[in-house]
Amino acid sequence: MSRQIIVGNWKMNGTSRDSQALVQALLAGLPASVPDVVICPPFTQLALLTDTLKTTSVALGAQDCHKDASGAHTGDISAPMLTDLGVSYVILGHSERRQEHGELDETVREKAVAAGKAGLTPIVCIGETEDQRDSGEHFDTLGWQIKGSLPDGFSGILAYEPIWAIGTGRAATTDEIAETMKFLREELVRQFGESGKTIRILYGGSVNDKNAASILSITDVAGALVGGASLKAEAFLSIVGAASAA
């Protein structure tokens, strides 16, 4: 089994001063043996942190990219631009992008293709709403999201984040996560064949230093996509430590 990966999604947080202080605290506290660690700051902080991280084991990720390599897209950032900055990963299809910017599965799929062509590892997010889970439609929803959001030959990372658990403090139970992970693995194999067995699946949604150990020990959980806790060095380092022990 490959090493677990812990991804910190800073979302729309962090001035230059804050970002440098947080990264320095993380680097100072990383244990000798660590999982793969990725931090995804806002676009405005990527260039600043490239130099800080280039001689470390921590990788740099972005929170989105455009489907086109260049063009008249005011305010957007292309995948080749991210590669040019030394970025290695990019989060795509986060529920906040889907809800606030109207991104569809097709949009996410096109971005994943663009990311792969630019040499980035796409981290594609899927997840169901509370109503979809309560009505028993969650597996159908997740299956269609995989089919619509992941391109043929996908070799990136899938991140499962139940929408009802993002930023709410309410994480799914270990039984709920285990059941969903089993379904996701089976669905990946059904849609992608043998390669579906090796696609890494992360869990996200109110992952913190208190629940990380139990979540990361679940079969098929290959790491975590961490939101709010990634903005606190001590909490994020605790999650990294839990991944090292998993």
Catalytically active residues, by annotation: 94, 161
- Please tell me the distance from the alpha carbon of residue 210 to that of residue 226, in angstroms, as a whole number: 13
Find out whether 227 is annotated in a ligand binding site.
yes
User: Hey, which residues does 123 pair with through a beta bridge?
Assistant: 91, 157
Find out whether 241 is annotated in a ligand binding site.
no
Helices (DSSP H) in the chain: which residue ranges? 16-29, 43-53, 79-84, 95-101, 105-117, 130-134, 138-149, 174-192, 212-216, 233-245
Find out whether 9 is annotated in a ligand binding site.
yes
Find out whether 208 is annotated in a ligand binding site.
no
> Is 202 within 8 Å of 214 (Cβ atoms)?
no
- Please tell me the distance from the alpha carbon of residue 143 to that of residue 236, in angstroms, as a whole number: 30
- The pair phi, psi for residue 223, each rounded to 5°, is 155, -165
Find out whether 61 is annotated in a ligand binding site.
no
What are the Cα distances from residue 150, in Å, to 81, 123, 154? 22, 10, 6
Two tokens at 120? 């980035």
Q: Which residue has the tokens 């990361």?
A: 216
- Please tell me the distance from the alpha carbon of residue 31 to that of residue 244, in angstroms, as a whole number: 9
Two tokens at 70? 């260049």
Find out whether 228 is annotated in a ligand binding site.
yes
> Is 149 within 8 Å of 191 (Cβ atoms)?
no
Find out whether 164 is annotated in a ligand binding site.
no
Q: Which residues are annotated as a binding site for substrate?
A: 9-11, 167, 206, 227-228
The annotated binding site is made up of: 9-11, 167, 206, 227-228
